[in-house]
Amino acid sequence: MPTAWIYMLHFDTKLSHAQHYTGCTERLRERLTAHSIGAGSRLTRELMRVGIEWRLGSLHSTSHKAMRRIERHLKDQKNAARFCTICSSEPEAIADTTAYPIALLPFSTRSDMLRLTHQGKENKIEVRLTGPDEPVSTMRFIVSLMKKDKDALGFIPAGGDGGLNVTHDKGLIAIVSNNGQDVGYVAFTLTHDKQTLNIHQCCVADDARLLGHGQALVQFLTEKFPTQMFTAKVRSDLAANYFWQALGFVQIREATHKTSVSKIVHYVLPKLLS
Protein backbone atom coordinates (compact mmCIF):
# COMPACT_ATOMS: atom_id res chain seq x y z
CA MET A 1 0.00 0.00 0.00
CA PRO A 2 1.21 3.57 -0.65
CA THR A 3 2.86 5.41 2.23
CA ALA A 4 0.91 8.06 4.06
CA TRP A 5 2.13 10.36 6.78
CA ILE A 6 0.95 11.37 10.24
CA TYR A 7 2.67 14.64 11.15
CA MET A 8 2.67 16.99 14.11
CA LEU A 9 3.54 20.69 13.96
CA HIS A 10 5.12 22.32 17.04
CA PHE A 11 4.40 26.07 17.32
CA ASP A 12 7.26 28.35 18.38
CA THR A 13 4.75 30.21 20.58
CA LYS A 14 1.46 28.94 21.95
CA LEU A 15 -1.74 30.10 20.28
CA SER A 16 -4.14 30.46 23.20
CA HIS A 17 -3.57 27.07 24.88
CA ALA A 18 -2.55 25.21 21.73
CA GLN A 19 1.04 24.43 20.74
CA HIS A 20 0.57 21.58 18.26
CA TYR A 21 -1.35 20.66 15.15
CA THR A 22 -1.77 17.05 13.99
CA GLY A 23 -2.50 16.16 10.37
CA CYS A 24 -2.18 13.46 7.74
CA THR A 25 -1.29 13.43 4.05
CA GLU A 26 0.20 11.36 1.25
CA ARG A 27 2.39 14.17 -0.09
CA LEU A 28 4.20 15.60 2.89
CA ARG A 29 6.17 18.46 1.37
CA GLU A 30 3.17 19.90 -0.48
CA ARG A 31 0.98 19.70 2.62
CA LEU A 32 3.55 21.32 4.90
CA THR A 33 4.05 24.07 2.33
CA ALA A 34 0.30 24.69 2.30
CA HIS A 35 0.38 25.09 6.09
CA SER A 36 3.36 27.46 5.83
CA ILE A 37 1.47 29.90 3.60
CA GLY A 38 -1.66 29.77 5.76
CA ALA A 39 -3.70 27.54 3.46
CA GLY A 40 -3.58 24.14 5.13
CA SER A 41 -6.10 24.48 7.97
CA ARG A 42 -7.96 27.09 10.00
CA LEU A 43 -5.45 26.79 12.82
CA THR A 44 -2.35 27.29 10.66
CA ARG A 45 -4.08 30.18 8.85
CA GLU A 46 -4.48 31.81 12.24
CA LEU A 47 -0.82 31.13 13.08
CA MET A 48 0.27 32.98 9.96
CA ARG A 49 -2.12 35.85 10.66
CA VAL A 50 -0.63 36.47 14.12
CA GLY A 51 2.96 35.75 13.02
CA ILE A 52 3.67 32.46 14.83
CA GLU A 53 6.07 30.08 13.08
CA TRP A 54 6.22 26.31 13.54
CA ARG A 55 8.53 23.31 13.16
CA LEU A 56 7.79 19.70 12.30
CA GLY A 57 7.74 18.02 15.70
CA SER A 58 6.79 14.45 14.86
CA LEU A 59 6.54 12.29 11.75
CA HIS A 60 5.22 8.75 11.30
CA SER A 61 4.46 6.65 8.23
CA THR A 62 1.32 4.54 7.89
CA SER A 63 -1.16 3.43 5.20
CA HIS A 64 -3.68 5.62 3.42
CA LYS A 65 -6.47 3.45 4.80
CA ALA A 66 -5.38 4.07 8.39
CA MET A 67 -4.15 7.66 8.29
CA ARG A 68 -7.45 9.49 8.90
CA ARG A 69 -8.43 7.14 11.72
CA ILE A 70 -5.07 7.67 13.43
CA GLU A 71 -5.22 11.44 12.91
CA ARG A 72 -8.69 11.57 14.49
CA HIS A 73 -7.57 9.40 17.42
CA LEU A 74 -4.57 11.65 18.13
CA LYS A 75 -6.65 14.82 17.93
CA ASP A 76 -9.25 13.41 20.29
CA GLN A 77 -6.57 12.68 22.92
CA LYS A 78 -5.68 16.38 23.17
CA ASN A 79 -2.19 15.64 24.54
CA ALA A 80 0.09 16.06 21.53
CA ALA A 81 3.18 17.00 23.55
CA ARG A 82 3.85 13.41 24.57
CA PHE A 83 4.33 12.42 20.89
CA CYS A 84 6.38 15.51 19.93
CA THR A 85 10.15 15.10 19.56
CA ILE A 86 10.65 18.76 20.51
CA CYS A 87 8.67 18.51 23.74
CA SER A 88 9.91 15.08 24.82
CA SER A 89 13.31 13.39 24.68
CA GLU A 90 11.47 10.05 24.62
CA PRO A 91 8.23 10.61 22.69
CA GLU A 92 5.58 7.91 22.88
CA ALA A 93 5.01 5.54 19.95
CA ILE A 94 1.86 5.86 17.87
CA ALA A 95 -0.01 2.61 17.23
CA ASP A 96 -0.15 1.34 13.62
CA THR A 97 2.62 3.71 12.50
CA THR A 98 6.38 3.72 12.08
CA ALA A 99 8.41 6.68 13.37
CA TYR A 100 10.37 8.43 10.63
CA PRO A 101 13.52 10.52 11.37
CA ILE A 102 12.74 14.13 10.50
CA ALA A 103 16.43 14.79 9.82
CA LEU A 104 16.28 12.47 6.80
CA LEU A 105 13.76 14.64 4.95
CA PRO A 106 15.35 16.37 1.90
CA PHE A 107 13.71 19.75 2.61
CA SER A 108 13.31 22.25 5.42
CA THR A 109 10.67 21.49 8.04
CA ARG A 110 10.32 25.06 9.34
CA SER A 111 7.36 27.15 8.22
CA ASP A 112 9.42 30.25 7.43
CA MET A 113 11.85 28.35 5.18
CA LEU A 114 9.08 26.43 3.42
CA ARG A 115 7.29 29.71 2.76
CA LEU A 116 10.40 31.29 1.27
CA THR A 117 10.85 28.33 -1.07
CA HIS A 118 7.20 28.46 -2.10
CA GLN A 119 7.33 32.19 -2.83
CA GLY A 120 9.94 31.50 -5.48
CA LYS A 121 7.49 29.34 -7.45
CA GLU A 122 4.53 30.39 -9.56
CA ASN A 123 1.39 28.29 -9.09
CA LYS A 124 -0.35 27.88 -12.43
CA ILE A 125 -3.87 26.53 -11.91
CA GLU A 126 -5.60 25.27 -15.05
CA VAL A 127 -8.95 23.51 -15.62
CA ARG A 128 -10.00 21.46 -18.65
CA LEU A 129 -12.85 19.20 -19.73
CA THR A 130 -11.98 15.58 -20.44
CA GLY A 131 -12.81 13.76 -23.66
CA PRO A 132 -12.03 10.66 -25.75
CA ASP A 133 -8.51 11.90 -26.53
CA GLU A 134 -7.53 12.35 -22.87
CA PRO A 135 -4.53 10.19 -21.82
CA VAL A 136 -5.28 6.94 -19.97
CA SER A 137 -3.45 8.32 -16.94
CA THR A 138 -6.24 10.86 -16.40
CA MET A 139 -8.87 8.19 -15.84
CA ARG A 140 -6.50 6.30 -13.54
CA PHE A 141 -6.05 9.48 -11.50
CA ILE A 142 -9.80 10.07 -11.27
CA VAL A 143 -10.62 6.49 -10.24
CA SER A 144 -7.78 6.42 -7.70
CA LEU A 145 -8.87 9.69 -6.07
CA MET A 146 -12.53 8.66 -6.12
CA LYS A 147 -11.80 5.35 -4.39
CA LYS A 148 -9.55 6.91 -1.76
CA ASP A 149 -12.19 9.45 -0.75
CA LYS A 150 -15.32 7.46 -1.53
CA ASP A 151 -16.64 7.66 2.03
CA ALA A 152 -16.09 11.40 2.21
CA LEU A 153 -17.40 12.48 -1.20
CA GLY A 154 -21.01 12.48 -0.14
CA PHE A 155 -22.41 13.12 -3.59
CA ILE A 156 -25.21 10.96 -5.00
CA PRO A 157 -24.63 8.85 -7.03
CA ALA A 158 -21.19 7.82 -5.80
CA GLY A 159 -20.36 6.48 -9.28
CA GLY A 160 -18.30 3.55 -10.50
CA ASP A 161 -15.69 2.83 -13.13
CA GLY A 162 -18.26 2.20 -15.89
CA GLY A 163 -20.26 5.35 -15.24
CA LEU A 164 -17.13 7.44 -14.95
CA ASN A 165 -15.85 6.20 -18.31
CA VAL A 166 -19.06 7.29 -20.03
CA THR A 167 -19.02 10.64 -18.23
CA HIS A 168 -15.35 11.06 -19.14
CA ASP A 169 -15.89 10.36 -22.85
CA LYS A 170 -18.81 12.80 -23.03
CA GLY A 171 -16.67 15.60 -21.60
CA LEU A 172 -18.63 15.74 -18.37
CA ILE A 173 -15.60 15.65 -16.09
CA ALA A 174 -13.46 18.71 -15.46
CA ILE A 175 -9.88 18.30 -14.25
CA VAL A 176 -7.90 20.91 -12.31
CA SER A 177 -4.10 20.89 -12.45
CA ASN A 178 -1.39 22.85 -10.66
CA ASN A 179 1.81 23.42 -12.63
CA GLY A 180 0.84 20.57 -14.96
CA GLN A 181 0.01 18.04 -12.23
CA ASP A 182 -3.62 16.90 -11.93
CA VAL A 183 -4.89 17.51 -8.39
CA GLY A 184 -8.69 17.23 -8.56
CA TYR A 185 -11.82 16.72 -10.61
CA VAL A 186 -15.54 17.42 -10.76
CA ALA A 187 -18.00 14.97 -12.36
CA PHE A 188 -21.37 16.30 -13.52
CA THR A 189 -24.34 15.59 -15.77
CA LEU A 190 -26.81 17.73 -17.71
CA THR A 191 -30.53 17.12 -17.69
CA HIS A 192 -32.21 16.09 -20.97
CA ASP A 193 -33.40 19.65 -21.59
CA LYS A 194 -29.86 20.98 -20.88
CA GLN A 195 -31.29 23.45 -18.38
CA THR A 196 -29.76 22.01 -15.21
CA LEU A 197 -26.19 20.96 -14.42
CA ASN A 198 -26.01 18.44 -11.58
CA ILE A 199 -22.66 18.16 -9.80
CA HIS A 200 -22.20 14.61 -8.51
CA GLN A 201 -18.61 14.65 -7.23
CA CYS A 202 -16.08 17.39 -6.59
CA CYS A 203 -12.86 15.99 -5.17
CA VAL A 204 -9.37 17.45 -4.67
CA ALA A 205 -6.30 15.56 -3.42
CA ASP A 206 -5.80 16.09 0.32
CA ASP A 207 -2.52 18.00 -0.01
CA ALA A 208 -4.03 20.36 -2.61
CA ARG A 209 -7.12 21.36 -0.63
CA LEU A 210 -7.78 24.88 0.65
CA LEU A 211 -5.64 26.30 -2.17
CA GLY A 212 -8.46 27.35 -4.48
CA HIS A 213 -8.58 24.25 -6.69
CA GLY A 214 -12.18 23.32 -5.84
CA GLN A 215 -13.28 26.89 -6.39
CA ALA A 216 -11.46 26.95 -9.75
CA LEU A 217 -13.35 23.82 -10.86
CA VAL A 218 -16.78 25.25 -10.04
CA GLN A 219 -15.95 28.67 -11.50
CA PHE A 220 -14.81 26.99 -14.72
CA LEU A 221 -18.16 25.21 -15.01
CA THR A 222 -20.18 28.37 -14.36
CA GLU A 223 -18.26 30.09 -17.15
CA LYS A 224 -18.57 27.10 -19.48
CA PHE A 225 -22.31 26.70 -18.81
CA PRO A 226 -23.50 30.24 -18.01
CA THR A 227 -27.25 29.64 -18.52
CA GLN A 228 -27.69 26.37 -16.63
CA MET A 229 -29.10 25.92 -13.13
CA PHE A 230 -26.39 24.41 -10.87
CA THR A 231 -27.23 21.82 -8.21
CA ALA A 232 -25.19 19.71 -5.79
CA LYS A 233 -26.04 17.10 -3.16
CA VAL A 234 -23.99 16.15 -0.10
CA ARG A 235 -24.46 14.13 3.07
CA SER A 236 -25.42 16.41 5.93
CA ASP A 237 -22.59 15.14 8.19
CA LEU A 238 -19.68 15.96 5.85
CA ALA A 239 -17.36 18.95 5.73
CA ALA A 240 -18.20 19.32 2.03
CA ASN A 241 -21.22 21.36 3.14
CA TYR A 242 -18.90 24.18 4.16
CA PHE A 243 -17.29 24.10 0.71
CA TRP A 244 -20.58 24.64 -1.14
CA GLN A 245 -21.75 27.26 1.32
CA ALA A 246 -18.45 29.14 0.94
CA LEU A 247 -18.98 29.21 -2.84
CA GLY A 248 -22.40 30.77 -2.39
CA PHE A 249 -24.61 27.71 -2.86
CA VAL A 250 -27.71 27.66 -0.66
CA GLN A 251 -29.68 24.77 0.80
CA ILE A 252 -33.16 24.31 -0.62
CA ARG A 253 -34.11 21.10 1.19
CA GLU A 254 -32.89 18.04 3.08
CA ALA A 255 -34.07 14.53 2.27
CA THR A 256 -33.34 10.96 3.30
CA HIS A 257 -31.56 8.84 0.70
CA LYS A 258 -33.57 5.68 -0.06
CA THR A 259 -30.61 3.28 -0.08
CA SER A 260 -28.18 4.59 2.56
CA VAL A 261 -30.82 6.31 4.75
CA SER A 262 -28.36 9.20 5.06
CA LYS A 263 -29.58 12.77 5.28
CA ILE A 264 -28.80 14.49 1.96
CA VAL A 265 -28.64 18.26 1.64
CA HIS A 266 -29.72 19.68 -1.74
CA TYR A 267 -27.97 22.87 -2.88
CA VAL A 268 -28.47 25.27 -5.77
CA LEU A 269 -26.54 28.30 -6.92
CA PRO A 270 -28.54 31.30 -5.65
CA LYS A 271 -27.88 33.65 -8.58
CA LEU A 272 -29.94 31.26 -10.69
CA LEU A 273 -32.83 30.91 -8.27
CA SER A 274 -36.14 32.22 -9.52
Of the candidates 151, 140, 135, 128, the one whose C-alpha atom is nearest the C-alpha of residue 217 is: 128
- Cα–Cα distance between 34 and 205 in angstroms, integer? 13
pLDDT tens digits, one per residue of 161-219: 556 666 766 778 999 998 788 989 998 989 999 999 999 888 888 767 666 888 899 99
- Cα–Cα distance between 82 and 196 in angstroms, integer? 53
**Residue 152: what pLDDT?**
57
Instruction: Identify the residue with better confidence: 2 or 191.
Output: 191
pLDDT tens digits, one per residue of 215-259: 899 999 999 999 999 999 888 888 788 889 888 999 999 998 777
**Residue 162: what pLDDT?**
56
**Residue 207: what pLDDT?**
64
pLDDT tens digits, one per residue of 19-44: 999 999 988 998 999 999 888 788 99
- Cα–Cα distance between 78 and 146 in angstroms, integer? 31
Of the candidates 80, 56, 64, 54, the one whose C-alpha atom is nearest the C-alpha of residue 5 is: 64
pLDDT tens digits, one per residue of 77-88: 888 999 999 999
**Residue 102: what pLDDT?**
93
pLDDT tens digits, one per residue of 97-148: 999 999 889 888 999 989 887 776 666 889 999 988 888 888 888 888 887 7
Record the pTM. 0.62
pLDDT tens digits, one per residue of 151-160: 555 443 444 5
Q: Are 185 and 160 in contact (CB under 8 A)?
A: no
Given its phi and psi angles, is residue 264 left (phi above 0), alpha (psi -120 to 50 degrees) or beta? beta
Q: Are 230 and 192 in contact (CB under 8 A)?
A: no
Best CATH choice for the domain 125-272 from the list 3.40.1280.10, 3.40.190.10, 3.40.50.300, 3.40.630.30: 3.40.630.30
**Residue 64: what pLDDT?**
87
pLDDT tens digits, one per residue of 205-227: 876 766 688 889 999 999 999 99
